[in-house]
Structure 1
């Protein structure tokens, strides 16, 4: 990691920069929040969705910033400060942050995973697999960031470019050889991954999500595709060709394209032989393997992980041996069993496609007359189009449905539930209940279930909070489920 580099050394890959002032000033840190500026800081004026950083250039200057990265010069340009004027501050910041930290992504094998569903599972499985194979590894995911055994709390699917390069520099300094990260559509659109060097990219699938941010499905697809467009010739691009947009993702990539599939010929071909609550038996490239994780969606995840590991140079047999021991990441089809044989499943499914995948899996795993009870909600200040769809899917696959609050954020929970309720078919009104309080909803589902029933609690998975009006209150679906099971056991 460079220690207080000269500004000019950070601008090598920034195209079209106009420098006003001296480029030989020393930069002590890169700051996005003007309140955190210290003497010697480079302040980046970003245009955010809520706030425009250009409004705070004067504040940053008064606090001692030696340089300002901006798209427009302020009305009053100070002679004691260097201004770097660029077309896009976020894109330039990506390159500057990478240079400031000594291009850490070039010191590790960095693999990015993108898609609507499966990102966390694939990245986490890869992290677990490579550690099991004896490599020091890092993980950047929605659930958590991790360097070997050390867990670093995660706030976004992908951190900003400065925080991301700082984390990668830590990983490189601690001799990690491989790093696996989720790449969200936001991170591509907002240039959080600009300036990073990837050894490979994986595409899982794409369905409607994040339209609150991208506005149109085409924009969402373009953002995902942008990740593959930017991959270098030395990288691999591994895509799920059972998703009809898999080939679209790699139309313009310079990377080596490889494929995985359950349905057609591919570089990495899989077939499910059997799937039960105990595990899944698969054929992968003509080798039969038993896995502890279950469900068709996980069959795809395992194929992606297997393919990426082989493309990174690992031996097929060693990969499959270690993969057979892996467990699902927290909050991803995580199973719990009560003393009287009720199965509770906690899953992060918060898109229509993810919810359908989980419920289809549960349907295939049913042995007889077990009832399926689904507790589900939708997040506030997010894509509202999916709310009625989520309710309709829950009704289609479940014997009983309880619609409840998720993370309402700054919306009224009942408004969200009213929108969900519009998706409930008239024939399913009787089996659908609305309970705003999530604790009460899970309690009702658990206490009314009969031995053998399956309860799915969807939408929050690993999260241990509820976001209400900007405040995160402690709430953990798993804890409430355990409370229900204890009550059923009379404890």
Structure 2
């Protein structure tokens, strides 16, 4: 148990009813999990308001309640703490509860529309290869050295983040690389954390269902840099038009990287092949198994971060040349019929465009590019026609299908994608609602040397419809579909 007033250190309280000099057990923002002597933090969420469940939390044994609005009936023996923002309060409480674990390691946050998972995962792999004890908090997984924990959000809730960081402290982790999403920043999940530095990858069309405007989306990302201390570093891709915006108000030491602009760290692509590319970084040439301009940016960000954190440059370049693709990020294989299948997480217009641009740069022109793509339900609808346009414009054949429809009609989502297809490309599209059948159709259409891109879900091993998740792995499905062509 822990003293209530100790976990409230740094929390701005506007009213207190009761005693803060009491021992409490756990901290929860889900009333269903509350037990005897716990602290309940009432959060105003997107789908429900935690303030509705204060009475239930108290009945379950809550000794303290943190809320933005005090209930009319205050129960004797329960401490009520009024705050301006419950999310901010929870972030500080979570850090205090776990003894501020982010201060005991070097935590680096990675934000941007695309590239967060690749940069954070490859930094984890590089530092691990360099002999350090490392942690990772990403979309795909949470790693504490070699121990893996599942994750359901790009940026987990603040209690979960601090618990993982506490576990990292216990295991002697020196560096942790963490994806920081715009949702996570807006919901204060990254508040209360001590960042050693932050990396900006790029900014393009995404999450406008949540942020409403592109400016709000950009400014939310920017807050990560605005809040950095003087002791931290801020690394930004200035080939992106928002790269310098991220650095405008930061107190951290500023660094830039680019392929096209003058920057502190620069790279040049010398040669491209399907099995990798030759890069020139800091006047040194290196071969990487990761292909595409987008991966050149990712690798340059990794190199710059390693240099800023004090790794030896030549060793870093050697380690970068050994790095493998991240699951679901331009993950490819070639079948017996010499059909190339690529699975990629590209679920934004910019990401899809980058992947198809890379494919079209590498192809000879004699083979067909067949793209299987869908758009997620209950997410930004405005990108659907744009995705449909890009897929049909940049492929020889595009098959529109279901992604994670969630609570929306898959056929309605596909219709919105079809709306973006220009008249001259309508003959190039095919709509197959069932994703498994869509992948099979692409494999049947393909002949020797053709290229199949299955985009949108990448590493995900499920498909979500009306709150139910069923097993579905794009990589496994396309591999099985191509193998069945032999039979």
Quote how far apart the aligned CAs of 1:79 are.
2.2
Instruction: Tell me the equivalent position of 1:399.
Output: 396
Equivalent residue for 2:313, pick from 295, 316, 331? 316
Instruction: Tell me the equivalent position of 2:369.
Output: 372
Quote how far apart the aligned CAs of 1:370 are.
1.0
Instruction: Tell me the equivalent position of 1:146.
Output: 143
Task: Give me the TM-score of the superposition, normalised by structure 2.
Answer: 0.99
2:221 & 2:465 partners in 1: Cα distance? 30
Larger mean Cα displacement after TM superposition, 354-363 or 480-489:
480-489
Match status 1:350 vs 2:328: no
Equivalent residue for 2:69, pick from 64, 69, 72? 72
Match status 1:134 vs 2:131: yes
Instruction: Tell me the equivalent position of 1:168.
Output: 165
Equivalent residue for 2:78, pick from 78, 81, 94? 81
Query: Within 5 A, what are the aligned runs for 1:302-341?
Result: 302-341=299-338
Instruction: Tell me the equivalent position of 2:457.
Output: 460
Where has structure 1 moved over 3 Å in runs of 4 or more? none
Unaligned runs of 5+ in 2: none
Query: RMSD between aligned alpha carbons?
Result: 0.8
Query: Within 5 A, what are the aligned runs for 1:81-120?
Result: 81-120=78-117
2:365 & 2:66 partners in 1: Cα distance? 64
Quote how far apart the aligned CAs of 1:340 are.
1.3
1:250 & 1:12 partners in 2: Cα distance? 30
Quote how far apart the aligned CAs of 1:421 are.
0.3
2:308 & 2:218 partners in 1: Cα distance? 25
Query: Within 5 A, what are the aligned runs for 1:249-288?
Result: 249-288=246-285
1:451 & 1:465 partners in 2: Cα distance? 30
Instruction: Tell me the equivalent position of 1:35.
Output: 32
Quote how far apart the aligned CAs of 1:12 are.
1.8
Quote how far apart the aligned CAs of 1:53 are.
0.2
Instruction: Tell me the equivalent position of 1:45.
Output: 42
2:435 & 2:310 partners in 1: Cα distance? 46
2:174 & 2:191 partners in 1: Cα distance? 21
Contact 2:230 2:251 in 1 (8 A): yes
SS in 2 for 1:429: helix
Instruction: Tell me the equivalent position of 2:210.
Output: 213
- Per-residue CA deviations over 1:344-398 (Å, capped at 9, x if unaligned) read 0000000000000000000111023011000000000000000000010011110
Contact 2:13 2:81 in 1 (8 A): no
Contact 2:463 2:471 in 1 (8 A): yes
SS in 2 for 1:83: strand
Equivalent residue for 2:486, pick from 469, 486, 489? 489
Equivalent residue for 2:53, pick from 23, 42, 56? 56
Quote how far apart the aligned CAs of 1:10 are.
1.4
Instruction: Tell me the equivalent position of 2:470.
Output: 473
Quote how far apart the aligned CAs of 1:17 are.
4.1
1:189 & 1:57 partners in 2: Cα distance? 24
Quote how far apart the aligned CAs of 1:486 are.
1.2
1:396 & 1:299 partners in 2: Cα distance? 24
Quote how far apart the aligned CAs of 1:469 are.
0.3
The count of corresponding residues between Structure 1 and Structure 2 is 487
SS in 2 for 1:188: helix
Quote how far apart the aligned CAs of 1:292 are.
0.9
Match status 1:230 vs 2:243: no
Quote how far apart the aligned CAs of 1:104 are.
0.5
Match status 1:408 vs 2:412: no
Quote how far apart the aligned CAs of 1:230 are.
0.7
1:222 & 1:27 partners in 2: Cα distance? 37
SS in 1 for 2:299: helix
- Per-residue CA deviations over 1:420-476 (Å, capped at 9, x if unaligned) read 000111111111000000000000101220110000000000001111001001111
